[in-house]
Structure 1
Amino acid sequence: MGTNVQLDDFIAGWIGGAASVIVGHPLDTVKTRLQAGHGYTNTVQCVRTIFKNEHVAGFFKGLSFPLASIAVYNSVALGVYGNAQRFICRYRYGEDLHQSPALSDVAAASALVGLVTVAIGAPVDLVKIRLQMQTQSVRPAKLNLVGASALHSLALNDQPLYRGPVHLISRILRTEGIVGLYRGVGAMYLRDVPGYCLYFVPYMLLCDWMTPEGSKAPNLFCVWLAGGVAGTISWGTATPMDVVKSRLQADGVSETKYKGIVHCIQQSYRKEGLNVFFKGATVNAIRGFPMSAAMFLGYELALKVLRGQ
């Protein structure tokens, strides 16, 4: 378990992360608009509206920043997971390299991933959400929802509030301070710590189940399928807290409405009912498959190359 093997996980994680961002960003935009936007009734209507008003480019709003940063975020996630799992197994089983990790080992490593990655990724996620959402309040059709004064403060002559990631970050730091970049971080922890457990545990179980007896590792199809199913499970179950997180992070594009997690839950439930917490659940489950399948496939392929297998 040398240094090179430990670094392999981070490098392979970056490659897998880049693949997942490119594959999943269009559906991520749809999911964000459904959860934190106004005027969308369902997934199909949201897709049609984005395409009609913003064309194909609308689905890729805010892509540059997550492509540059979420790939690093996933590199940290998979790097921490691989190294944490090895550390736990070495602590529990000594130098027995043939001992497979138990479910409790995988769950512990997964929870650690959630704790580490949220601290790093919360500002990245907020920037992505704000860039995806900033067109929401500059449409004339939204006048009755946000008010003319909010529209004027948001955009002059239909210009977006944020010119790009750097401008957005500098504006938040100037108006809200460093705390502004971590808005919604509590909800993100509540989503990601259990979410990563429901990510890596199903992936490991499915890979073990699909790997033929006598084989040392699952084939690439098994990796692709197990990764996709794990992503669907994880993202599907994370939707309620993902809604809260998205609303807290998007809060402030036009006005600040929520004081925190509990207030956001109360206000959302009072105005929109229980169904609000499952907005985007279909998109989450659907996008979870190709994103996670691409990530795990890219990760495992990169590991094979890096380790000369």
Structure 2
Amino acid sequence: MSQKDRKSRWYFGGLASVGAAIVTHPLDLIKVTMQTQQGKLSVVQLVPSIIREQGVVALYSGISASMLRQMTYSTTRFGAYEVGKSYINTDTFTGKVLLAGFSGFAGGIIGTPADMVNVRMQNDVKLPRDQRRNYKHAFDGLIKVYRQEGFAKLFSGATTATTRGILMTIGQIAFYDETKKHLLATAYFQDNLVTHFTASLVAGAIATTLTQPLDVLKTRSMNAKPGEYKGLWDIVKHVGQLGPLGFFKGYVPAFVRLGPHTILTFVFLEQLRMNFGYTSSS
């Protein structure tokens, strides 16, 4: 049986995303820290400041929440996409977009609690010690939020997280599949690492551009103190004070993080598929 004929199992996307998150977590932390500051501290200023004050290990603050987020959010969206192929025609780009949008919607809802704790744990590195939440790990954060702020707070930012999940999944999965399809239709590409890298790089760039404004709003909402904002529109107005580019704050570290994360996710996913996948007959 040829490796290229193998199909992914529904949970391969979650495993691949966890692996990618472990590698790219410091980049995600820098992105979150930049998005939650109202000032204009650059990446060049921010990274040395964090390392100088708290050490290199601070760059992995919230890694447990990041992994839990991938296990919930990404496992759901990749799994729903794989399973959905049996019910929706993904031979067309429209079919891919529809299925990816639905998968992202489901993943966004399920992944919101872990995503919120992830944002808070990462943002702790830039707060004064007396203002830090100091969650020991992801589950400690979930329990404390539930006990101190109520169940509803676990889904704070769900609207923007879900919308972002839809756009992210369309940008990543639908565009990856479509780009890979067109590359393989030429005489220059085969189902190998070069093709996987090229298609995922394109997908990463598209996904970053589609999701950045919502990512900024989601991060602000999840990290907000009780009563800090009246609602989503209040956050929009607050970010808008920085001008249109305020909605793309942290774009460079977002792409620097999401590009490698997308590439690693699909490279890992394709390796899992080619080595441990299945055929329709198995």
Does the alignment reach a TM-score above 0.5? Answer: yes
Q: Give the alignment partner of residue 265 of structure 2, picking from 295, 299, 302.
A: 295
Instruction: Report the identity percentage.
Output: 23
Which residue in the other structure is 2:249 paired with?
A: 279
Q: CA, structure 1 residues 82+178, in 2 after alignment: closer, same or farther (shift >3 Å)?
A: same
Which residue in the other structure is 1:169 paired with?
A: 142
Specify the code of the residue in structure 2 equivalent to 1:167. D
Q: CA RMSD in A?
A: 2.5
Structure 1: which 4+ aligned runs deviate by more than 4 Å? 212-217
Which residue in the other structure is 2:224 paired with?
A: 251
Which residue in the other structure is 1:12 paired with?
A: 12
Q: Give the alignment partner of residue 133 of structure 1, picking from 92, 114, 123.
A: 123
Distance in 1 between residues matched to 2:238 and 2:186, nearest whole Å? 53
Distance in 1 between residues matched to 2:255 and 2:237, nearest whole Å? 25
Specify the code of the residue in structure 2 equivalent to 1:291. H
Specify the code of the residue in structure 1 equivalent to 2:45. Q
Which residue in the other structure is 2:233 paired with?
A: 262
Specify the code of the residue in structure 2 equivalent to 1:294. L
Return the TM-score normalized by structure 1.
0.81
Q: Indicate conservation of the 8 Å contact 1:232/1:284, yes or no.
A: no
Distance in 2 between residues matched to 1:303 and 1:60, nearest whole Å? 29
Between 22-31 and 223-232, the greater mean CA deviation after superposition = 223-232
Q: Indicate conservation of the 8 Å contact 1:200/1:230, yes or no.
A: yes
Q: Indicate conservation of the 8 Å contact 1:20/1:291, yes or no.
A: yes
Specify the code of the residue in structure 2 equivalent to 1:130. R
Specify the code of the residue in structure 2 equivalent to 1:261. L
User: Which SS does the other structure have where 1:169 is aligned?
Assistant: helix
1:192 CA drift (Å): 1.9
Q: CA, structure 1 residues 308+240, in 2 after alignment: closer, same or farther (shift >3 Å)?
A: closer
1:8 CA drift (Å): 4.5
1:217 CA drift (Å): 6.2
Which residue in the other structure is 2:96 paired with?
A: 106
Distance in 2 between residues matched to 1:161 and 1:17, nearest whole Å? 26
Q: Indicate conservation of the 8 Å contact 1:9/1:75, yes or no.
A: no
Q: Indicate conservation of the 8 Å contact 1:16/1:74, yes or no.
A: no
Distance in 2 between residues matched to 1:229 and 1:51, nearest whole Å? 32
Distance in 2 between residues matched to 1:218 and 1:308, nearest whole Å? 16
1:241 CA drift (Å): 0.9
Q: Deviations over 1:151-180 (max 9, x none)?
A: 4xx36xxxx543332332222111221101
Distance in 1 between residues matched to 2:88 and 2:32, nearest whole Å? 36
For 1:44-123, what aligned pairs fall within 5 Å after superposition?
44-89=44-89, 101-123=91-113
1:88 CA drift (Å): 0.7
* Count of aligned positions: 275
Return the TM-score normalized by structure 2.
0.88
Instruction: Give the gaps of 5 or more residues in structure 2.
Output: 1-6
Which residue in the other structure is 1:97 paired with?
A: none
Distance in 2 between residues matched to 1:50 and 1:229, nearest whole Å? 31
Q: Indicate conservation of the 8 Å contact 1:35/1:279, yes or no.
A: yes
Specify the code of the residue in structure 1 equivalent to 2:121. L
Q: CA, structure 1 residues 178+219, in 2 after alignment: closer, same or farther (shift >3 Å)?
A: same
Distance in 2 between residues matched to 1:235 and 1:200, nearest whole Å? 13
Instruction: Give the gaps of 5 or more residues in structure 1.
Output: 1-6, 90-99, 140-150
